[in-house]
Amino acid sequence: MVRQKEMIAAHFQRLSRAREEGRKVVYTFVPGNLTELMLAFDILPVHPEINALQAGMRKQSGEFIAEAERAGHSEDVCTYVKCDIGMLLKGNIGPTGEKLPEPDLLLLSYTGCFTFMKWFELLRERYRCPTAMLHVPYQGDGRIEPSMVRYVVDQLESEVVPKLESVTGKKLDLERLQGMLARSARAEDDLVWVLESAKNRPSPIDAYFGGVYYIGPIFTAFRGSPEAVDYYRALRAEVEERLARRLGPVTPEGELQQEKFRIVVEGPPNWTSFREFWKMFADEGAVVVASTYTKVGGVYDNGFRHDPSRPLESLAEYCMGCYTNLNLPSRVDMLARYVADYEADGFLINSIKSCNSFSSGQLMILREVENRSGRPGGFIESDLVDPRYFSAANIKNRLESYFQMIEQKRAGGAA
Ligand code: SF4
């Protein structure tokens, strides 16, 4: 956690010096991000949704959202967007207190959520900089066809790479990109090992609240860098040691002493009350053994790895494979598989008020996963970064009832 925070803070510092150091800056989103391609051009990426979640964790988001609503953005708009727009209207001071540089390019890898497109339209009006749009086909039939890979590669070749070349004044160095993709694959191997360590009893990790820190570097500005390789090697070594000593995960209250419930979670966490939310689970002895949120920036536990021998094809497959680009039956399959593979007692949906893209199918997901797994599902509601929609008492009540229900089912099963 400490090391991840240092890496992210160092990235914000680099961004604050970008102009004086002549570095180019590209704004882009986490799902379907083309980090290795940007790093191959020495570009610094900015992820607006990371700024928003960092602002949420630092209790700055409420004021930014209010600012965006005063400027006319409706209450129903995704709060990541409003937090970002509010921050921009207030001078674009990033979460660490340093000013964020304006973008030289907006790079939209369009994976699954229409809001991403509208969000960048708003930023484009403001910054008047060039835009590159990578249209990533939705996995409507639950698979990636060769024609879909070709379609994305064509756009990388004809749209994205030329725009990156034009912004930086450099030609793409394919060998350099391949070196980065090889490093990505190494980090991805270690990340998957860490996430799958939760199959043990007790689980040495929490794959949702702790998982946030595990995915930070690889989902943002570091995938493909030597720092990411080192980070995931160190993380794996730390978790290996916890496993050998049969230790449970570290929580805001210290080390979890007894694993009482093993839970799979769907949906992002709430950021404005992140530690309070986490503590509600830890107080009950509940460990999240798998989550879909830790797959929004790449699903690696299905075997996908970036492949330096097929650089652009593998970037295309990566973009199409992100969780945000999966259809509802694929999401149900994934959750039902997690419940079985991680021997979970149940699964829980944290439905996000302002995320229309992902909340719409969640009641169907709940029913389907319950039917298929035979394990009880729970449903709570909160928001990403709008503090008005985190009702601690309500959520705590629901969680307590949910864990009681699991206990009763267990007792019934044993009788
Ligand atoms: S996926 Fe949800 S949270 Fe992310 S941009 Fe779309 S609406 Fe907002």
Q: State whether the beta carbon of 108 lies less than 6 angstroms from ligand 1.
A: no
Ligand 1 center to residue 122 CA distance, Å? 15
**Closest of 86, 206, 195, 229 to residue 78, by C-alpha:** 86
Tell which phi-psi region holds residue 407, choosing left (phi > 0), alpha (psi between -120 and 50) or beta: alpha
Long-range own/partner contacts, residues 398-405 (CB < 8 A, 24 or more apart):
399/280, 399/281, 399/284, 399/286, 400/284, 402/346, 402/348, 402/376, 402/378, 403/260, 403/261, 403/284, 403/286, 405/376, 405/378
Ligand 1: residue whose CA is nearest its atom 4: 355
* Global pTM value: 0.96
The best mutation among 81, 111, 113 to test binding of ligand 1, ranked by most ligand atoms within 8 Å of the C-beta, falls on 113
What's the CA gap between 154 and 137, in Å, rounded? 13
Ligand 1 center to residue 278 CA distance, Å? 22
The best mutation among 78, 119, 266 to test binding of ligand 1, ranked by most ligand atoms within 8 Å of the C-beta, falls on 78
Ligand 1 center to residue 69 CA distance, Å? 17
Ligand 1 center to residue 49 CA distance, Å? 9
Q: State whether the beta carbon of 29 lies less than 6 angstroms from ligand 1.
A: no
Residue-level pLDDT, tens digit, the chain, 415 residues: 899 999 999 999 999 999 999 999 999 999 999 999 999 999 999 999 999 999 999 999 999 999 999 999 999 899 999 999 999 999 999 988 999 999 999 999 988 889 999 999 999 999 999 999 999 999 999 999 999 999 999 999 999 999 999 999 999 999 999 999 999 999 999 999 999 999 999 999 999 999 999 999 999 999 999 999 999 999 999 999 999 999 999 998 899 999 999 999 999 999 999 999 999 999 999 999 999 999 999 999 999 999 999 999 999 999 999 999 999 999 999 999 999 999 999 999 999 988 988 888 999 999 999 999 999 999 999 999 999 999 999 999 999 999 999 999 888 764 4
Q: State whether the beta carbon of 304 lies less than 6 angstroms from ligand 1.
A: no
| DSSP per position, 180-240 | HHHHHHHHHHHHHHHHHGGGSSS-SS-TTTTHHHHHHHHHTT-TTSHHHHHHHHHHHHHHH
Q: Taking CA 183 as the corner, what is the angle to CA 179 and CA 186, rounded to the nearest 5 degrees?
A: 145
Please list, in sequence order, all residues whose beta carbon lies within 8 angstroms of the beta carbon of residue 320, skipping any fewer than 6 positions away: 32, 111, 136, 137, 139, 144, 148, 149, 152
What's the CA gap between 224 and 40, in Å, rounded? 9
Q: State whether the beta carbon of 359 lies less than 6 angstroms from ligand 1.
A: no
